[in-house]
Structure 1
């Protein structure tokens, strides 16, 4: 009889080998290793962990400041400033958009379990598990969702010029998927493209964790989405999303080890983050970068690692890469790279 332990041994001996970024976990006494997101400029690196702590690092001298010890739901770079969607710590929780460098509150408190926020014109938009809230700095206006009753793991938000809002979820081996709220609509629609089996992709909430969203410079008004899972098998893709339609842009098979089981020979590189560049996009996997330049995708080895106050960092053009174990909490991935775009 084949036990689960034997099955694991077979999987990891027969599947393609994937190296891990860096040799140790992030070593910050407040943040720990479970980093969720970051904001980077030429001078600073802001990091948020799963518990809602936020720490900012000075990239020149490695000084660090604790911005929030817990209760931060999201970070956003807007108009040359880094903003935090932050809880007041009370019960029930109330969230507001805060500008930590000045101590200003940019919105009134919102009593709701906020998951993330973004800026659309003059409006602040906050997403919860069952509604979208808007504020131009005054009272919040609630817009309930239809067609969606749950959320998954780590959330990524993006919008397009037509006013569409996209919500990507990453819950590791349990999938996640991508969802859209069309302009003027209150219905959340899954962006889905499958044949017979949802787990054969290329995009389905049952099996595909969405790990990044970025503008598509080659197709105005569209987005690119990265998918990445490293579990017993691994898969990854870059998808182009225009409205409710998704098409496959990129996927690359792993090199199978000699004697691999046939099922493992079709594993693809898991992509754990995505950012736009002036000529295309960059996606990150363990110890490698996939760089699309004018439509041609090149594979680059990860540049040398540097340490910033105990945080391993890698810089490539306009992105930073840091390690996290957020995916390890939802799969067998081990430490994975987290990609952060460097902005103004």
Structure 2
């Protein structure tokens, strides 16, 4: 569930079925982009570029803003953790949006339980988001320079170096944190943080020619990552790009220093108008879903079932509660998350997958 705003600048899905979406789309609460979302049988929670989290009732479309100044959302079994900043202060709090008592603290001025992080150069730096691993009952806050635990009995961990800002986060165990970056045509790459000693290293396989390595930080934007539920201690990571007529998309399994190719997007016999000749389809988002993952691309998506991956057309979007949303597909909802780019006769949209748990 780690989808950052920079990816909205560089990667867009051609959603030809979303003709009803206005060209200058902007939601009154979410703003000009939906960053991420989660859902269950009754509700949908969406975080927008405004920093607000809005809960929608699926049966009626009714909406309510449940949190503001939110930096990250993290679904963890029966919890939906939200990391938010209290105004313009150095005070941050984490609340469970599924727990009425915890969520009630959002509306109060109480500072009990707040975590104070000084963002100056000599302190924690920018707050990146939340991470959790098996055995931890509350998530940790990850900043550029360390990990701040919220569970009792845990101590702060300083990194040996500083991470860059705006990254996808996931932890596979209490020893290892991974951070992926999406810089568009400037790459991004994957970092591994050893939580025992704070060491930071690149996860990559180099090659003799530029951009021919695996997860090369100069050429591989990371579009999603999450723990591999079938292989403890490993993670699934997606990389994809579409730039100047060329494109590609890959999914890998990373286990410590081992990188295994899981999937590469196919090359169509005839490329679409955004390709300079047939190219592999771009991958602009990778989302963990029940029993696998969903990768989004232009006018299509890829759904994994164990070792099998199926390519499917992006479903038709319909107007709902001021949004463009699909019907449920294999435990997933698709939403138009940002709009619109392109010429008058070809408009690009970006769609995200919202897993239903």
Do the structures match in fold with TM over 0.5?
Answer: yes
Q: Which residue of 2 aligns with 1:3?
A: none
- For structure 2, the 5+ residue unaligned runs are 1-12, 107-111, 119-125, 342-346
C-alpha separation in 2, matches of 1:305 and 1:258: 24
Structure 2 residue aligned with 1:20: 15
- Structure 2 counterparts to residues 1-344 of structure 1, below 5 A: 19-20=14-15, 22-23=18-19, 24=21, 27-69=26-68, 71-91=69-89, 93-100=90-97, 101-102=100-101, 103-104=104-105, 107-112=113-118, 113-120=126-133, 121-137=136-152, 141-151=155-165, 153=166, 155-161=167-173, 163-232=175-244, 233-255=246-268, 257=270, 264-265=276-277, 267-277=279-289, 279-314=291-326, 315-325=328-338, 334-343=348-357
CA distance in 2, matches of 1:228, 1:237: 6
The answer to whether the Cα contact below 8 Å between 1:320 and 1:340 also exists between their aligned partners in 2 is yes
Q: Give, in whole Å, the separation in 2 of the partners of 1:108 and 1:259.
A: 50
Aligned residues: 317
Does the 8 A contact of 1:56 with 1:67 survive in 2? Answer: yes
- CA RMSD of the aligned region, Å? 3.1
Does the Cα contact within 8 Å between 1:37 and 1:340 map onto a contact in 2? yes
The equivalent of 1:7 in structure 2 is none
Question: Normalized against structure 1, the TM-score is what?
Answer: 0.80
User: What whole-Å deviation, never above 9, does each CA across 1:1-52 have from its counterpart, x for those lacking one?
Assistant: xxxxxxxxxxxxxxxxx73363336542121232221122121111112342
How has the CA–CA distance of structure 1 residues 172 and 243 changed in structure 2, closer, same or farther, with 3 Å as cutoff?
same
Q: What is the Cα deviation at residue 247 of structure 1?
A: 2.2
Would the alpha carbon gap of residues 78 and 219 (structure 1) be closer, same or farther in structure 2, given more than 3 Å must change? closer
Contact 1:282–1:291, Cα closer than 8 Å, also in 2: yes
Q: Distance in 2 between matches of 1:259 and 1:307?
A: 26
Shift of 1:95: 0.8
Shift in Å at residue 62 of structure 1?
A: 0.4
Taking the aligned partners of 1:321 and 1:200, their CA distance within structure 2 comes to 32
Aligned mates of 2:70, 2:143 — CA distance in 1: 14
Question: 1-side partners of 2:196 and 2:223: how far apart?
Answer: 26
Shift in alpha-carbon separation, 1:319–1:160, aligned structure 2, 3 A: same
Q: Distance in 2 between matches of 1:194 and 1:283?
A: 25
* Aligned equivalents of 1:55, 1:82: Cα separation in 2: 13
CA distance in 2, matches of 1:326, 1:186: 40
CA–CA distance in structure 2, aligned partners of residues 118 and 217 of structure 1: 16
How many Å apart are 1:185 and its aligned residue? 2.8
- Deviation string 1:54-81 (CA, Å, 9 cap, x unpaired) is 2111111000111234x21101223423
Distance 2:77 2:295 in 1: 25
- 5+ residue gaps, structure 1, are 1-17
TM-score (ref. length: structure 2)? 0.78
